[in-house]
Structures are given as structure tokens and as C-alpha cells.
Structure 1
């Protein structure tokens, strides 16, 4: 994110001529497309999205594949590669490992010209993943009714204020935080992602690059200090240790059902906060920092990668670009998943919900103040964790929350796993 993430949210203009290849013509070509499902991105969403793009590219037919879990799509793609079934197009699959082995198509400057950050997520200086959208990870969503009942007049900006608010909420009988994990993993590490991003990355934005160069370690004081705050939340009972077995969909529903006051999650949650049934108003605030300084973790990427050896490579490329650049599809992704499309000239459609608007403005403010950093654990390619390490981060967070490991032991575990992954 240190690549001048000037989304310019306040100055974006209406999209014009962003769709690709409205009439492709040519012979009928079938491609396989690996998707994943979440409470927001349902089978119906993907079916409609595929139809939306293929209707404008009539020479392309798509066979949809679905990863077994939302957060396991990269590992599933690896399994498919090993079994000789590597999909032609994949979305939100980490390009690292696949690209270096020559399995991915490298996008040309001309193909990337409509993206705001065409040089996001490089692999050895080349770009294999379309930088399709920006996500803030994590803002904190909160139950305004619970906050008011606990006498909290405004959301916290500092870590001490967060702790004080959590104490008030607990005293009122409310669970301060809603977290999860289970088969999805990442809801367990959301708080850790926020802590590392706002504390470690705020002073050392290239920390993960330095980790790749073996100049820093997880066991170093700065990382341990950030991690220790998650342990403190668990020790104080502000984070429910039993919740780490709850999957992502159930975790989201638990918050909407009023089972917790705060829900640290990516900005995609705004779509369901604005559309799903609940009996309280949802607010959103930036992840608090130690001194109250504005630091907003975000990630730009998440787009399509294409199999370089696809039998119908041209069709795969057309479909991928058509999916990522079509205005109707972009609007659908905003409404369904609360995304911030990183496309030149894009503005969200009319009628987006209040939670989305609030989160979008928080991000726009951070952009204006040059206060955006990488979102720890969510980076990809040369800027990201080594392959397989995201699951280890989730595991380390769960181990600390449940008390199975101390912070020092969890950090040592991460360093050991890093050495194995390298």
C-alpha cells in the first residue's frame, strides 16, 4: 500500500468505456473459472456475474468451480494444479508460487491501463493478478445500541479507549468482541491483522519485505508487542475463547444477532450490514492505534489470475478482463460484497447503504491524509507472506486466544514455520 494509494475517492469520475470486448465473436470456447462462496458471494451472485460477462462476450462459455472454503481457495488451486486440473481463470487466489513456476499469464501494460494501481502485487517485477479492488482490513463494526447502553458516546480512537469501552460493555453484560475461525481461519486473526498493521507497519511499512530478507523476525519485540494486545483482550475476557471454532458465516450472523458489540472484519461486511436483517444500527470505526494517529490497513488486489497454459487462453483473458472492468459487474460487486473497485474513473452506484458509505469515507479520508498501510496477512505476491503462512498466522492467533501458546511461543512458531516455507 505504500505505492501512493491515492484512490482519490473524492475526485473519482463516472466510468466510461471500461468494459472489455463487448462483442468477441470467434469460435465457441469453454474455460473453467474457480470461485469461492461467502455469505455475500452466494452461488446466485456468481451465476449472475458469469452470465453478465458472457452475455457481452458470446464466444466464451464458463464452467464454474467452487473452492471448498472461502479462505482455502489458494490451497485448493494448488491441489487442482497437482492433479492436472488447474483452472483457466481464478479469482482472489494468491499468485505467489504459481507465477514463479511459470503457471500464470503475465498481464501487459495495455491490459492494465484501466486499473488505478497497475503495479500492485508484483512477482519478480511482473504482474500476474489483476488489481481489481481495494479492501480495508479490518475496520471495526459496532452495535450502536450496545455502545449507547454502556454509556459510550463515541467510538474509540486509541487502544486505551478501546480497552475502557470493552470494560464498560462487559460490565453491561455484552460480549465486547465477536470473533470466529473454524474451517475459515481468518476471523480468528482479524484483530492481530489490525494490530500488526497499525503498530508495526505504521513505523516500518516494509516490515514484511524485511522479513523476506531475514532482517526481522516475528519474535522481535515490535511484533510481539502488537501480538501481546490480542493476548490481553483474551485474558480480560473481551474475546470469547470458545468462538475460534465458529466458522465465518456463523460469526457474521452472531454479530447481526446481537451476540457481540464489536466485529473486526474487512469492509466487505458492509454489504450484509446494509442488507441483512438485524434490529440495531451498525456503525464503523477505524481500527484504533496506540496514540490515536490515523492508520488504515488496506489491500489492493484480489482480482483474476489466468492459467498461462489454458487451452483457450484468449477466451480466459477476455473473460477475466471483462469481469473486472465491466461497470455493471463492478456495481454488482459493490452491492454484494462492499468492495471499493480500484478502477480508474469508478464511483459507487446510487443507493449503496449507510454502512458502506461510512466505511468508504473513512478510507477516502485515510487516502487524503496518506495514512494507508498494508493489511497484515492479506498481502500477496512479493509483498506478501510466504505460501502457506496465512494459515499459520490464523493458527497462532487461535493458540494465543485459547491460551494454548504464549505470545512468545506463538511468535517462535511463526518463525519456525517461515523457515520451513522458505
Structure 2
């Protein structure tokens, strides 16, 4: 999926979201978004992935539209994973969408282009003030996703590994055991337009080595109190460079698309797959020939630091033909029981709407993923997910894609960790001039 964001402070009640029954979530029931009219044609910017295809979006749009008569939706599909960049292109030609999902509000919010969500409109959400931008919320925080490591239990058994690693040292030792048995330890891709997919190992090490100690690190970077060339960030990058240098990541795989990388893991071309929790839905739906386990990328001392994002929902243009009707439709889409169930089944979401409980027939990989998230949550081990933040304390627009391009070089041995830090500082300066 890759469109989530989260607040640095995740409410403990989020752990209960999956254990309750959906109540009081009918769109438009408590919000202030009354329509000024009864009819409107609205553009909706979305995206497509192997998990969320055109059929998925069309069905969800139809369910929301049935709840809000008078709305006609014109679907727009981003041609790449960079929906925010595409929205900017549309805006530059006077075609800014009326409703968008997973949009980074940076650049749009301060220009007055987005309508903020009110406290009443956010009343159904577990963490209603996730990702505030200038004190206001512009994206419905409807679901949580985390970055974990999925692993081939058969490969671990062949290498004599009886349990997932609990420390970073154990992760390296297990990787060495796997390689000694002729098993590629890590599947990592990110070729072509999917360079974002190479970021997940770095997200994990930034979580363990930077954000665990300094949760507001990016806010401090904005205030020029820290640099990417500082030891903490360079050390996080160095860990990934070391994993690649030791031959634990197949360099040939870096040219694979996201879909091909996912399939490569299912085909047994590597023992571990660092990826967003949405992979759990794919693992359960397209069962490989082996059992799939899950664990959080370990810290040096074994304490939890799980990168996680909460958000990903709808934003509404302040210039929509009918802002009230657009908000009503957006909430109808986000809070519909069948839409939520479909999102959980298709994309492995951990829904952050009060009272929601996932379908009882969810598969073992999804259930293990949720259990890993809850374990980290209960241990106060949830941190931000580097490059996926939006709102206050996030990368400047466009810098996440620059980071992914740099990671390609880092993993390929064409850039050192120190050089990567200097590259990130230079890109930051360009983006904030």
C-alpha cells in the first residue's frame, strides 16, 4: 500500500481497536460537514497496487456513493506511487482533485488548498489528531501499518535457526547461517518507478538507531539541530550498507519492481522480506509453499522499536464544488463497514476507527502481523516510519523519492553511509530553500 502516516504519540487505545465491534461509524452521523447542495460531480485521486486494483476501488467508490446520493465521482488514478507529486501536477494546471487519499498535506495546507477536519468529524477515530499540520488535521487517520520482516520458516529451519532474532547481532548471525546454506538472506527490490520499495531496511534501522532515542528527530532536523551526517543517522545507514556488503542482499534483485519483489519472496528466492504490513494480506491470499513468519527488525539491545504509520485517509480540497458534500462522501468511504473489511482483506490494514473488528476469517500471517504490532505497542515500542511521515515533523515534499534513489546507491555499493548522509543534507537544503 504505502500511503500511511502517523503521529509520534500513538494512543494506547489503538491496541483495542481490533478487539471491539464497529459501532457508531455511519458516515455523516456526527460530523459538521453538512452539504450546501444535494448534487455535485467530484474528482477523487487514488492509486492502484497489486493489492488494491481497479476493481477494489470501483467497488468501494460505489458503496460510498450509495450512502451519499447526488454525488457523482470521477476517479483519477496516479500514474506512480507519488500521488502527492501527481496532485501538484494537477494543481499546476488548475485540476487539483476534490478528494484525495493518502495525500501529504505539506505545501497544500499552508496554501489554503485543503479543508481541515473538525474534532466532531474525527470523533470516530482512535487517534484523531494523528499528523497535525500547523495544529490542524487534513487527512483522516483511519488505519495503521507497520514495517516488519516477513520470513520463510522453512529456510530458517534449513539453516538451523529455531526462532526469529531478538537483537541486531543475532540478525547478522542468522544471515550468515542462511548464506552458508546457499540461501539468500534478504529479498529487497525497488527498480524502475518503484524505487520507494528499497526503503524498508533503512526505515527499520532509522527506527532502531535514530527514532528510538530521538522520536522528534525530523522536527529537530527542521530546526537545524541535527544533521543527516550526524553519527546516529550515519550509523543507521551503515547497518544497511554492511548487510549489502556482506552479500546478504542479492544486488540483482534491486532492479525488480515492487510486484516482482513480492513474488520473488513467495517463490522462495530469499529468506527474509522487510516490507509494510500490507504484505500480510498478500501472503495469506497467495499462499507460498512455505509457512511465513513475522518479526520486528531488532535493536542492538533487543528492546522494541517498530516503525509504524497511522493515517492514510481522505483529504478534501477547500475549493471543491461542495466542500460539505465532499467531506460527507469521504467519510462515507472511510467509515463504511464493507469498505473497511475489504481494505483489511486486500491490504492488511490495522483499522484505527473506534469499535472496528476485522473479519473473523483473516489468515495466520495477518493475525501474526497484528500480534507483532500490539506487542510493540504494549511495550511502548512504536516509533515513526522514516520517509512516510506527513504533517509536522516530516520530510520536505519530494525528499522521500530522493532518499530512495540514494538507498539504491547505498545498497549497490556506489555510495558510503557518510556520503549518503551528506547527500540527504544537500537534498534537504535544496528542498527547503
What TM-score do you get using the length of structure 2 for normalisation?
0.94
**Structure 1 position 34 matched with structure 2 position 24:** no
Q: Is the 8 A contact 2:35 2:323 kept in 1?
A: no
Superposed structure 1 runs of 4+ greater than 4 Å apart: 22-26
2:220 to 192, 210, 227: 210
1:152 to 161, 167, 184: 161
Question: Deviation at 1:26?
Answer: 6.0
> CA separation in 2, counterparts of 1:83 and 1:4?
38
**Structure 1 position 3 matched with structure 2 position 14:** no
Q: For the structure 1 residues 352 and 360, does the alpha-carbon distance in structure 2 shift closer, same or farther, using more than 3 Å as the test?
A: same
**Structure 1 position 404 matched with structure 2 position 414:** yes
> CA separation in 1, counterparts of 2:134 and 2:162?
49
**Structure 1 position 177 matched with structure 2 position 196:** no
Q: For the structure 1 residues 329 and 24, does the alpha-carbon distance in structure 2 shift closer, same or farther, using more than 3 Å as the test?
A: farther
> CA separation in 2, counterparts of 1:91 and 1:10?
25
Q: Comparing 356-365 with 6-15, which one deviates more in the overlay?
A: 6-15
Question: Deviation at 1:393?
Answer: 1.2
Matched position secondary structure for 1:34: strand
Equivalence map 1:3-402=2 (5 Å)? 3-10=9-16, 12-21=19-28, 27-69=38-80, 71-136=81-146, 138-182=147-191, 183-402=193-412
Question: Deviation at 1:354?
Answer: 0.6
Question: Deviation at 1:8?
Answer: 4.2
Question: Deviation at 1:10?
Answer: 4.3
> CA separation in 1, counterparts of 2:141 and 2:86?
21
Question: Deviation at 1:73?
Answer: 1.0
Matched position secondary structure for 1:382: coil
Q: Comparing 271-280 with 22-31, which one deviates more in the overlay?
A: 22-31
Q: Is the 8 A contact 2:37 2:325 kept in 1?
A: no
> CA separation in 2, counterparts of 1:234 and 1:411?
17
Structure 2: segments with no counterpart, 5+ residues: 1-6
Matched position secondary structure for 1:380: coil
Alpha-carbon displacement from aligned partner over 1:105-144 (angstroms, at most 9, x marks no partner): 11111111111111111111111111111111x1000111
Question: Deviation at 1:56?
Answer: 1.6
Alpha-carbon displacement from aligned partner over 1:29-69 (angstroms, at most 9, x marks no partner): 21111111111101111011111111122221111111112
Q: Is the 8 A contact 1:6 1:368 kept in 2?
A: yes
Matched position secondary structure for 1:139: strand
> CA separation in 1, counterparts of 2:28 and 2:142?
18
> CA separation in 1, counterparts of 2:309 and 2:107?
19
> CA separation in 2, counterparts of 1:99 and 1:223?
29
Q: Is the 8 A contact 1:7 1:364 kept in 2?
A: no
Q: Is the 8 A contact 1:379 1:385 kept in 2?
A: yes
> CA separation in 1, counterparts of 2:56 and 2:252?
32
Matched position secondary structure for 2:194: coil
Question: Deviation at 1:256?
Answer: 0.9
Q: Comparing 14-23 with 353-362, which one deviates more in the overlay?
A: 14-23
> CA separation in 2, counterparts of 1:340 and 1:5?
14
Question: Deviation at 1:404?
Answer: 1.5
> CA separation in 1, counterparts of 2:156 and 2:205?
22
How many residues are aligned here? 420
Question: Deviation at 1:277?
Answer: 3.7
> CA separation in 2, counterparts of 1:156 and 1:127?
38
What TM-score do you get using the length of structure 1 for normalisation?
0.96
Question: Deviation at 1:244?
Answer: 2.1
> CA separation in 2, counterparts of 1:54 and 1:302?
20
Q: Is the 8 A contact 2:36 2:325 kept in 1?
A: no
Q: CA RMSD in A?
A: 1.6
> CA separation in 1, counterparts of 2:173 and 2:12?
34
